Chain A
Amino acid sequence: MIALENVTKRYGGQTVVDDVSLTLGGEGVTALIGPNGAGKTTLFSLVGRLVKPDAGRVTVGGLDIATTPSGDLAKTLAVLRQDNHVAARLTVHDLVEFGRFPHSRGRLTVEDREHIEQAISYLDLGAHRDRFLDELSGGQRQRAFIAMVLAQDTKYVLLDEPLNNLDLRHMTEIMRLVRRMADELGKRVITVLHDINFAATWSGRIVAMRDGVVVADAPAREIMRPEVLKAVYDTTVDVREIDGRPVALYYG
């Protein structure tokens, strides 16, 4: 489990994450939603040890991230950030190879190569393996990065807005993959999503944040209610039942 205990983070005078206690990483997919500036990405950065909390403690699978060597944590927790710009020219295969770094420190073993091959075929990137990242479409590049995270072979996977800048087809494709990773491979996926309909469709549990605190944490169906969504986004959202599934309407 990923456990946050009374975690607080301030930037300057502003409190971005305010005394949050939260347990993440149950089976399946957990979605983290909330308006811009709610503290979702900061929460990920805290768990991903990119920033240090001003107060509180974060543990991943029982390991305190403040004291556990970074290399050990990388074997249980993989993080995919929002914008992944790479200065060097890498091929898809090169990138996925990096996913094995925590295990082999760059010296690939037979087992590493198997993991790399599996990740590449899992994300259907076989045809693109030798292409450079800057020659791929947005959807393919996102898949390549997810393949890297998958090759890292961790129990917990954090994805920060994996649907950013993707079109409808690729959004659905990525979410289906994320779901499969959770169901078939037993990954505990926690992902930041902006489209609440995607969150409701593909995840079991939704955690909603606003102004640095968790305002709602429940199964998807219970979050998909006009009054809850109004409290989270401060916008009127209509929720209708279509084919037995709640669908949020917020287009006008």
Chain B
Amino acid sequence: MLGGAVLALVVGYLFTGVPGSLAFALEIRSLTVAAMLVVSTAVGVSTVVFHTITQNRILTPSIMGFDAFYVLISTVIVFVSGSAAFLAFDELTLWFVQVVVMVAFSVLLFTWLFGGKRRSIHLMLLVGIVLGTFFRSFTEWMQRMLDPLDFRVLSDAMFASLTRPDETLLVLSAVLVALGCAAVVPLRRTLDVLTLGEPTAVGLGVDHRRVVMALFAAVSVMIAASTALVGPILFFGLIVANLAYSYAGSFRHAWTLPTAVLLGMVCLLGGQLVLERAFGFGGTLSTVIDFAGGLFFLYLVLRKGAR
């Protein structure tokens, strides 16, 4: 049923409201749909995996400072070289730098805090939050010193945008996300066991440390790729993952993972449709998704509480 909804939305998005040549519109719009698929896969899978590892369903990987770090990198570039240079920057180089720096940062954080003797997920999260806040403040400080024009360019770039992605970047991101999925999917049953908590999982023969390191690595790569492609959009993972838990009707990752991805597609496509057709591009996609998704999420929480 969910798959049907996604298909209907895809068709609706591709074929309606075409002002000029249908072929031209299709070409551009299918790129957008592909970008959505990459992003919803990356965000949906990584958020669900992150929830399972941390045994907490109200966190998103953004708590580790991922988006903040992304914004920081871009701000530093604008701050150092100015907006003209930022815009002139080769997109491929920019994407590459951002992915490498983000993955390096998270791998460092994981190995430092989780590979050591006092491995503790909570400590790692705490350090992540502190670093995230630090990045944000640092970014704010730099942005305050920026030329208003530079600032405008920067803040425009910092809203997630899925329309008209660069083809090369799209393919590269898709490959990274596919690699991440290739690492996660064979571990889906182990992920089920991880929902029981570390002690029980270890008792059932899960090599907890190795598995969690592998999963964190996959999560970092996927998030880095999708964030570098479209911008910070992680909050939506929280909505999608929690919707998936109630919608999938099973705790098993064989169900929750694909459900989260499909729901992500529904959110993105629906949001984009509303944005384009109802508001005539008069906003950003993340605004639409956060607003509608947030409301729906609240409804879900309240309804559950009432029962």
Who on chain A is nearest to B254 by CB?
A106
Who on chain B is nearest to A77 by CB?
B203
Structural contact, B55 and A87, CB atoms closer than 8 A? yes
Partner of B251, one of A78, A88, A99: A88
Residues of A within 8 A of B196 (CB): 84, 86, 98
A41 → chain B closest CB, angstroms: 11
Partner of B197, one of A73, A86, A152: A86
Structural contact, A101 and B202, CB atoms closer than 8 A? no
In the complex with contacts A87-B55, A106-B190, A107-B189, A70-B206 CB distance below 8 A: yes
B123 → chain A closest CB, angstroms: 15
Q: Encode B195-225 as 1/0 by CB contact (under 8 A) with A.
A: 1111110111111000000000000000000
Structural contact, A106 and B197, CB atoms closer than 8 A? no
Q: Encode A63-85 as 1/0 by CB contact (under 8 A) with B.
A: 00000011111110011110011
Structural contact, B57 and A87, CB atoms closer than 8 A? yes
Who on chain B is nearest to A102 by CB?
B205
> CA–CA, A99 to B200, complex, Å?
10
Counting CB contacts under 8 A, is B192 at the interface?
A: yes
In the complex with contacts A81-B199, A86-B197, A106-B192 CB distance below 8 A: yes
Partner of A85, one of B56, B197, B207: B197
Structural contact, A78 and B203, CB atoms closer than 8 A? yes
Residues of A within 8 A of B251 (CB): 88-90, 94
In the complex with contacts A87-B195, A105-B189, A152-B202 CB distance below 8 A: no
Residues of B within 8 A of A69 (CB): 205, 207
In the complex with contacts A84-B200, A88-B251, A89-B251, A101-B205 CB distance below 8 A: yes
> CA–CA, A106 to B193, complex, Å?
9
> CA–CA, A102 to B204, complex, Å?
6
Who on chain B is nearest to A91 by CB?
B251
> CA–CA, A106 to B192, complex, Å?
9
> CA–CA, A105 to B195, complex, Å?
15
Structural contact, B199 and A98, CB atoms closer than 8 A? no
Interface size on B, residues (CB 8 A): 20
Residues of A within 8 A of B202 (CB): 48-50, 70
A164 → chain B closest CB, angstroms: 15
A18 → chain B closest CB, angstroms: 20
> CA–CA, A205 to B147, complex, Å?
79
Structural contact, B207 and A70, CB atoms closer than 8 A? yes
Residues of B within 8 A of A84 (CB): 196-197, 200
Structural contact, B55 and A152, CB atoms closer than 8 A? no
> CA–CA, A72 to B206, complex, Å?
10
Residues of A within 8 A of B197 (CB): 84-87
Residues of B within 8 A of A48 (CB): 199, 202-203
> CA–CA, A87 to B202, complex, Å?
17
A83 → chain B closest CB, angstroms: 9
Residues of A within 8 A of B203 (CB): 48, 74, 78-81
Residues of B within 8 A of A89 (CB): 251
A89 → chain B closest CB, angstroms: 6
> CA–CA, A228 to B57, complex, Å?
49
Structural contact, A99 and B189, CB atoms closer than 8 A? no
Residues of B within 8 A of A90 (CB): 195, 251
Residues of A within 8 A of B206 (CB): 70-71, 101
Who on chain A is nearest to B189 by CB?
A106
7 nearest A-B pairs in the assembled complex, by CB-CB distance: A74-B205, A106-B189, A88-B251, A71-B205, A102-B205, A79-B203, A88-B195
On B, residues with C-beta under 8 Å from A are 55-57, 189-190, 192-193, 195-200, 202-207, 251
Contacts A74-B205, A102-B205 known; list 19 others, CB within 8 Å: A48-B202, A50-B199, A70-B202, A70-B207, A71-B205, A72-B205, A81-B199, A81-B200, A81-B203, A84-B197, A87-B56, A87-B197, A88-B195, A98-B204, A101-B193, A101-B205, A102-B204, A106-B189, A106-B190
- 21 A-B pairs, CB-CB below 8 angstroms? A69-B207, A70-B207, A72-B205, A74-B203, A74-B204, A74-B205, A75-B205, A78-B203, A81-B200, A84-B196, A84-B200, A86-B196, A88-B251, A89-B251, A90-B251, A98-B192, A98-B204, A99-B204, A101-B205, A105-B190, A152-B204
